[in-house]
Amino acid sequence: MTTIFADRMGNTRKSFIREILKVTQQPEIISFAGGLPNPGLFPVEEIAAASAKVLSEDGKNALQYSTTEGYLPLREFIAQRYLEKNGLKIDPNEILITNGSQQSLDLIGKVFLNKGDRVIIESPGYLGAIQAFSLFEPEFSNVPLLDDGIDTDMLDSTLSEGSAKLFYTVPTFQNPSGITYSRQKRIDTAEILDRHNVICVEDNAYGELRFAGDDLPTIRNYSDNTILLGSFSKIIAPGLRMGWICAKKEVMEKLLIAKQAADLHSNYLSQRIIHQYLLDNDIDKHILKIKDAYGIRRDLMVNMMTEHFPEEIAYTKPEGGMFIWVTLPPGISSTDLFELAIKENVVFVPGSPFYTEDGIGNNTLRLNFSNSDFEQIEEGIKRLAVCLERLTESKLIAK
């Protein structure tokens, strides 16, 4: 049976996170695994009101086929927001509405990647991008993240070794690490990519979720050779499946062809509902509510880790987003920790799936703080601390 499938299917792994999420459906499980927004912050009543208004006032049109590019007033809203928030002058015709950022990655892969093309990716990198690009069978080159962003010296030397098509990055509250590029790193990254004529794919899914520190310009602010991705999943609701690609005209022409072949256009009703919601509500006020809630959860998780984890365990302290990256001492496996933790009804994501190289990241793991209440964070971190003590003791005895 396996011989009838395309070769690419043998080279693309299942999403490790999606497999873990099946376990988290059990009510007794405390999950720090999924990259899930907190459902308690979804604007359910406001979305219901927007839906009713769209259907009552223009239902026949809202339920019809639409243009591939997406609903123009929604694209105009996004373009205006880029101008107000980032100082970017973007034509609405340079914006394509997609079924979440994940489809954006798929379309970019279709447009740019042939088998064997080189893609530069952060190490660790976003698992969804690794999976999306893997279908097109590229060669991944990994460049490590430092505390203030990508290792630009290594990025430059890696690109000097041979040509690459794309550099994929999440420079603000990176998934999985929570790391944010400094302003200088953004400038240097843009300069290096421009010099090597490599397209930057800048995924900014978490950029609005800053609860500490100062906002920073996008890489797109420093280089027009950047494809910028955005999403409504983290600031409104993921179930609406709405994201977008912002790209230059010549790139957009190819993206539109790929989009037409994929699904003609994104869910038009969802586009209309989101736009009506944005007209009738203060999105910045809603985002502030999300940021406040996530900031409290991040502080609690970090404080609990500081109190209960062994001193030799390192972890990031993100200024926004949804994730904390944990590094265990050498020789301590996060997969072994996972096996102990799941018996205590707490789960996380081991770090190795976030690397494209085998044998890397075995002592790392990702924790999500956005989708847990205070009691779950306190109890879950305590359980993990007990598991860590058991694992550390067993390794010492084994030696």
Q: Which residues contact 22 (CB under 8 A, 6 or more apart)?
A: none
pLDDT digits (tens, 9 = 90+) for 278-329: 999 999 999 999 999 999 999 999 999 999 999 999 999 999 999 999 999 9
- Predicted model pTM: 0.93
**Rounded to whole angstroms, what are the CA distances from 323 to 119, 132, 320?**
24, 21, 8
Residue 21 has pLDDT above 90, yes or no: no
Lateral strand order in the sheet of 314-315: 314-315, 323-327, 364-368, 349-350
Query: Per CATH, which fold does 44-280 belong to?
Result: Aspartate Aminotransferase; domain 2 (3.40.640)
Domain ranges of the chain: 2-42+285-398, 44-280
Task: Specify the pLDDT at position 398.
Answer: 45
- Phi, psi of 203, rounded to the nearest 5 degrees: -95, 115
The CATH number of the structural domain formed by 2-42+285-398 is 3.90.1150.10
Same fold, 2-42+285-398 and 44-280: no
324, 341, 316, 325: which is closest to 391 by C-alpha? Answer: 341
For residue 134, give Cα distances in angstroms to 114, 145, 169.
11, 21, 16
By residue count, the chain amounts to 399
3-state secondary structure of 202: strand
Residue 69 CA: distances (Å) to CA of 76, 131, 249: 12, 25, 12
Q: What digits encode the pLDDT tens for the residues 179-237?
A: 999 999 999 999 999 999 999 999 999 999 999 999 999 999 999 999 999 999 999 99
CA-CA-CA-CA torsion sign (335, 336, 338, 343): positive
Q: Give the position of tokens 């979804």.
A: 42
Contacts of 317 (CB under 8 A, 6+ apart): 178, 302, 324
Half-sphere exposure of 285 (CA within 13 A, CB side): 6
Rounded to whole angstroms, how far apart are CA atoms 18 and 26? Answer: 14
Residue 4 has pLDDT above 90, yes or no: no
* Residue of 146, 286, 282, 291 lying closest to 211 (CA atoms): 291
The CA–CA distances, whole Å, from 243 to 53, 96, 107, 267 equal 22, 9, 12, 11
At residue 271, does pLDDT exceed 60?
yes
φ, ψ of residue 32 to 5 degrees: the values are -110, 20
299 burial via Cβ count (<10 Å: 0-12, 13-18, 19+): middle
List helix spans (H) across the chain.
7-10, 16-23, 44-62, 72-86, 100-112, 127-134, 152-160, 183-195, 249-263, 268-280, 283-308, 334-343, 374-398
Task: For tokens 């219901």, name the residue.
Answer: 48
- 397 pLDDT higher than 60: no
Q: What is residue 143's DSSP assignment? A: E
Q: What are 22-65's pLDDT values in tens digits?
A: 666 677 899 999 889 999 999 999 999 999 999 999 999 999 99
H-state helical runs in 152-282: 152-160, 183-195, 249-263, 268-280
Report pLDDT digits (tens) over 318-371.
999 999 999 999 989 999 999 999 999 999 999 999 999 888 899 999 999 999
Indicate whether 11 pLDDT > 80: no
